[in-house]
Chains A and B, each alone.
Chain A
Amino acid sequence: MKRFFLFLLITLFSFPAFAQKEDIKTDTFKVEGNCGMCKKRIEDAAYTKGVKRADWNPENHLLVVTYRASKTNLETIQRNIAKVGHDAGDIASDETGYNKLPDCCQYKTNSCNH
């Protein structure tokens, strides 16, 4: 048990060592969507290789994304979000992706009250 905790502590605190600070970028852009249900989809889509963190706010529709610039870039991330049906920054959503959204997430015509 003791060893297990020690192992965990070491793993926890050694994480930041991997991240090279200068390589990390944080950007904010608008992603169209409706509610909490869209949130998971948007963040999952943003969360691709090189992305450290993605937070989408359903109230102001802003996505804050932190990523390693050497592994990915803003356009790639936005493209990935657009693919699942949400307008991301300047990239319009993919039509097939949009049509697959559940009714309440089809933000162009509907709104949801969650």
Chain B
Amino acid sequence: MKKKTGALLWGGLLLGVHAQAQDTTKSTKQIDEVTIRTRTKSTEINLLGAIKTEKIGARELLKAACCNLSESFETTPSVDVAFTDAVTGYKQIQMLGLTGAHTSFTRENIPDIRGLAAITGLTYTPGTWIEGMQLSKGAGSVVNGYEGVAGQINVEWKKPFSDKEPTALVNLYQSSQARTEGNLVYRKQVSENLSTNLLLHGRSNWARIDQNGDGFMDQPLDKQFIGANRWFWFAPSGWEVQGGVKGVYSTNTGGQMDYNRDVPQISGNPWGYQADINRLEGWAKIGRVFPKNPGTSMGLQLSGVYHDQKAQYGTRRYDGKQNSFYANFIYQTILGTTDHVLKSGASMQYDDYAETLAGTPYGRTESVPGVFAEYSYNGNEKWNVVAGLRADYHNLFGAFMTPRLHVRYTPWQKASLRASVGRAQRTANIFAENIGFMASNRSFVIAQPEAGLAYGLRPEVAWNSGLNFTQKFRLNYHDGAFSTDYYYTDFQNQIVVDAENPASVRFYNLDGRSFAHSVQAQLDYELIRHLDLRLAYRWYDVRTTYDGVLKERPLVAAHRGFANLGYETRNAWKFDYTVQWIGPKRIPATFAHHGGGTVAESNSPSFVQMSAQVSKAWKNGDVEVYLGGENLTNYMQHPMILGADKPFSPGFDGSLIWGPAMGANVYAGLRWKIQ
């Protein structure tokens, strides 16, 4: 017991999770945190800690029977998920009204989906591999870097040294939309100190399906294989070493129903989309605790990524290669007592990009060394503070500072009031983050590029400040929680993605204002035993200056309402139902397809989405069968693709997506734990 807890404690510590900022020596607290997981709600908001973190547990992930990260937020009101375009089948997320690239994704606190994988990378983490996620909005800890203005999502994989996990977990999935999937998570405790994981995933969309009747496949035919192997070694002397490798292979073929791979893209032939992605990642963590100096530890995180993608969208060819290297050294110590914790360290982020879009090469190398320090005060039950500062030097953009501050205050029992403010900077990968526009005949234009920068554009710089309040309560002997938050993001510079003219998508530095207000309220309550209700509402006001005019950002819903009901019986039946209402979104002006000219900008209709799932487990949960449905109202956007009948004409546009691209889907599957 002691050993395992030590291992977990240590693992967590090394990973540098915010929670650990509290206190590493009060090991009882850590034990609590680990054991609590088995008995808390599927999503839990912690009342302690300066940063509000939604812990999304494995049980929550099972509600969607989901297949990968982008689909795993279907029951999380904080995150919006929408198709990027009508052709590629990729989904992108939105937090605080900002695109997914503004959220920093980490895998066990190592930066994960960055650069060219900003959108496609969400499919590289199969849901079955995930043990849990921690989601926090607004500025995060400086220990993890200077990016992530909208928030952080940290994903924890299933651990090989955890007794809770079975020796092997097999998950099989089949949907009525011809998607077949298989997952395996295998663990082995090699010796007392050494353990390993083997994780495998394979999936295929193997039939051409056109539910919305526009002559295009709703999602491409695809094959995806992902494999990973990782090792943990805990030495009795306080050393811990872990390392892993992960490989991704993905190949897609989409477009018009009769398109076959490599058919020449000329008028008269079917319009086609095809893409191939190869990606290899390797990482290591080396850490040490000093048993003689409580609260003191150090850790080194290393990671390398090789990413290669080749894609064809009609006549447009887009290829990209990325080589990245990351190193982060963290030294943690206490100042006098464990009430004062100081983390400091140095990091290095290196990225080399080589892209080619429609024959034009774009290349750049970014190298960003930096140092950081973060102080946390936990000496008072009523309040705590985390104050961080980092200084980085970017080879293209020069030196910059990143200050961040988090404060928590407990005004009364079972309540928590938190405030945060911080700066974030990032380089926009304008092509990879906007692959949706490639499914159109819009030309990609970089307005007034300057030499020596990234695509001739400056970095994005934004400040985020936020306020949130959580109140837990017990009403009629049942637990509940009410939570509300407000975040404001203000861009000093932004790479504006201007699709206001239907002939092009233009990228330029912000000239004027750009901001995002976000308000959310959420109520969780157990109505009767084992019947959980979640109600949520969120509102965005996201505006950007397009060519001197401040306009609502297109394809962002200002209003969204959400309700989820989950019920579990004693004999292990589970029922889950989610209904969402998504408000209108602004659609920019488009070409008129009858009679020429353009159609003025408009608003999309609001719509309702429903999903439901039933599952039944046997043998203490070792065998579980699930059956579910998505988009049960069978609501689809019409028309999905503008000018679908003439894909080689200027008006062809599959990028203005505000609604579901696919109709109702029924799926069934099996989860089998081999102890």
CB of A47 within 8 A of CB of B529, answer yes
A39 within 8 A of B: yes
CB of B477 within 8 A of CB of A1, answer no
Partner of B476, one of A16, A39, A47: A16
B337 within 8 A of A: no
Residues of A near B529 (CB, < 8 A) are 47
Contact flags (1/0) for B463-486 with A, using CB distance below 8 Å? 000000000000111100000000
User: Which chain B residues in 556-586 approach chain A with CB under 8 Å?
Assistant: 561, 570, 581
Tell me the count of chain B residues lying within 8 A, CB to CB, of chain A.
20
Residues of A near B39 (CB, < 8 A) are 36, 39
Q: A39-B39, A44-B570 are in contact. Are A113 and B1 (CB under 8 A)?
A: yes
Residues of A near B4 (CB, < 8 A) are 113
User: How far does the alpha carbon of A114 sit from the alpha carbon of B38 in the complex, in Å?
Assistant: 9
Q: A36-B35, A113-B163, A114-B163 are in contact. Are A53 and B477 (CB under 8 A)?
A: yes
Contact flags (1/0) for B594-638 with A, using CB distance below 8 Å? 000000000000000000000000001000000000000000000
Which of B4, B163, B477, B570 is the most central at the interface, judged by chain A CB atoms within 10 Å of its CB? Answer: B477
Tell me the count of chain A residues lying within 8 A, CB to CB, of chain B.
24
CB of A114 within 8 A of CB of B164, answer yes
User: How far does the alpha carbon of A21 sit from the alpha carbon of B38 in the complex, in Å?
Assistant: 32
A15 to chain B: closest CB distance in Å?
A: 4
Residues of A near B668 (CB, < 8 A) are none
Residues of A near B163 (CB, < 8 A) are 112-114
CB of A12 within 8 A of CB of B477, answer no
User: How far does the alpha carbon of A54 sit from the alpha carbon of B31 in the complex, in Å?
Assistant: 23
CB of A37 within 8 A of CB of B620, answer yes
User: How far does the alpha carbon of A59 sit from the alpha carbon of B163 in the complex, in Å?
Assistant: 18
What residue of chain B has the Cβ atom nearest to residue A5's Cβ?
B535
Residues of B near A114 (CB, < 8 A) are 35, 38, 163-164
User: How far does the alpha carbon of A51 sit from the alpha carbon of B455 in the complex, in Å?
Assistant: 66
What residue of chain B has the Cβ atom nearest to residue A105's Cβ?
B620
A67 to chain B: closest CB distance in Å?
A: 10
Residues of A near B475 (CB, < 8 A) are 12, 15-16
Residues of A near B129 (CB, < 8 A) are none
Which of A12, A35, A37, A66 is the most central at the interface, judged by chain B CB atoms within 10 Å of its CB? Answer: A12
Instruction: Please list 20 pairs of residues, one from A and one from B, whose beta carbons are closer than 8 Å in the complex, sorted by A's number.
Output: A1-B561, A1-B581, A5-B535, A12-B475, A15-B475, A15-B476, A16-B476, A18-B476, A36-B38, A37-B38, A37-B620, A47-B529, A52-B477, A59-B35, A112-B163, A113-B1, A113-B163, A114-B35, A114-B163, A114-B164
Q: Which residues of B contact A (CB under 8 A)?
A: 1, 4, 35, 38-39, 163-164, 475-478, 525, 527, 529, 533, 535, 561, 570, 581, 620
Q: Which residues of A contact B (CB under 8 A)?
A: 1, 5, 8, 11-12, 15-16, 18-19, 35-37, 39, 44, 47, 52-53, 58-59, 66, 102, 112-114
